[in-house]
């Protein structure tokens, strides 16, 4: 398998409905398995722009370094924070 580079694309309208509280806590705490599994649901092939199937995304993300995974997770969390709707 070629070294596939991935990008994370969020649909802000649904991401808060799709990510559980436990997953969010896992992302914030840096739990590697949670980071990989959550990011895999939003991973796209950087070259083609096509959405990766979750199983393929898990394999692709698993080939990257822990540092790269942590950076992608940090960006994901920042996007969530930036799109959060303030309480009424």
Q: Is 66 left (phi over 0), alpha (psi -120 to 50) or beta?
A: alpha
- Quick check: helix, strand or coil at residue 51? strand
Does pTM top 0.85 for this prediction?
no
With tokens 């980071």, the residue in question is: 35
Per-residue pLDDT tens for 39-87?
999 999 988 999 999 999 999 999 999 999 999 999 888 888 776 655 5
- Once rounded to an integer, what is the mean pLDDT over residues 9-37? 88
Band (2; pLDDT cuts 50, 70, 90): very low
- pLDDT above 70: residue 8: yes
For 57, half-sphere exposure in the C-beta direction (CA atoms, 13 angstrom radius) is 23
**Dihedrals phi, psi of 51, to nearest 5 degrees:** -70, 135
Per-residue pLDDT tens for 32-52?
999 999 999 999 998 899 999
């Amino acid at each position: 398998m070629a070294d596939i580079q991935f990008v994370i694309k969020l649909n802000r309208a649904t991401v808060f409905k799709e990510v559980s509280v436990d997953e969010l806590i896992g992302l914030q705490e840096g739990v590697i398995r949670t980071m990989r599994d959550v990011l895999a649901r939003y991973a796209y092939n950087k070259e083609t722009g096509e959405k990766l199937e979750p199983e393929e995304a898990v394999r692709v993300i698993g080939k990257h370094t822990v540092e790269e995974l942590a950076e992608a997770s940090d960006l994901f969390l920042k996007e969530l924070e930036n799109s959060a709707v303030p309480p009424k």
